């Protein structure tokens, strides 16, 4: 087996800390249920995805679409993994100011091309950030905002460990 194999791989990108906090919360909750690996999008490659049985993709929405480094991960991995990971479980987490739907749509389309199986509704955390200063400021998410991330991580890991996904 791959030296960094994980039943659940949580891939994330974060500029201001909000998405990183979401991914870390999911990972902490998942670790008690199943082997879990947390990896930044910039550091991940096709072998990392191939070694996992399920995924949580976590990214911020920037300018109404998926963040560049997360899109770059998909660009680098899409064709090398085409027809290699179909049927595997995935879920999404997005941190956004007031919308988030553009990033969700983009990630869903990519996952559809890989023929992955979405097993949970996306977790969307809205920060309300609308001005340049607030958008660029470090994000501190509340326990209430992080709770759905923990729930998703635990549910994904348990589902993989039990063979449900």
- Rounded Cα gap, residues 7 and 123, in angstroms: 20
Tokens 């988030």 locate to 100
Asked whether residue 51 carries a pLDDT value surpassing 60, the answer given is: yes
Q: Whose CA is closest to 91, among 129, 59, 58, 60?
A: 58
Task: Fill in the DSSP letter of residue 43.
Answer: G
* Least confident span in 8-12, 23-27, 32-36, 153-157: 32-36
Q: Whose CA is closest to 153, among 7, 59, 26?
A: 26
Degrees, nearest 5: CA angle 19-69-50: 90
pLDDT grade, residue 6 (50/70/90)? low
Look at residue 50 and give its three-state secondary structure. helix
Over residues 64-115, the pLDDT tens digits come to 999 999 999 999 999 999 999 999 999 999 999 999 999 999 999 999 999 9
**Residues 6 or more apart from 161 whose CB is under 8 A from it?**
7, 33, 34
Work out the percent of the chain whose per-residue pLDDT is above 70. 96
What are the beta bridge partners of residue 36?
8
- Rounded Cα gap, residues 93 and 58, in angstroms: 4
């Amino acid at each position: 087996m791959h030296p960094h194999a994980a039943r659940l791989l949580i891939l994330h990108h974060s500029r201001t800390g909000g998405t990183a906090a979401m991914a870390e919360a999911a990972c902490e909750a998942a670790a008690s249920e199943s082997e879990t690996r947390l990896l930044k999008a910039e550091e991940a490659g096709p072998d990392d995805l191939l070694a996992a049985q399920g995924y949580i993709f976590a990214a911020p929405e920037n300018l109404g679409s998926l963040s560049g480094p997360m899109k770059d991960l998909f660009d680098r991995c899409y064709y090398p993994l085409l027809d290699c990971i179909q049927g595997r479980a995935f879920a999404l987490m997005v941190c956004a100011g007031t919308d988030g739907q553009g990033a969700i749509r983009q990630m869903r389309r990519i996952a559809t091309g890989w023929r992955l199986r979405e097993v949970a509704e996306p977790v969307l955390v809205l920060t309300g950030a609308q001005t340049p200063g607030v958008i660029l400021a470090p994000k501190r998410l509340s326990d209430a905002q992080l709770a759905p991330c923990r729930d998703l991580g635990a549910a994904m890991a348990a589902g993989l460990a039990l063979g449900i996904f």
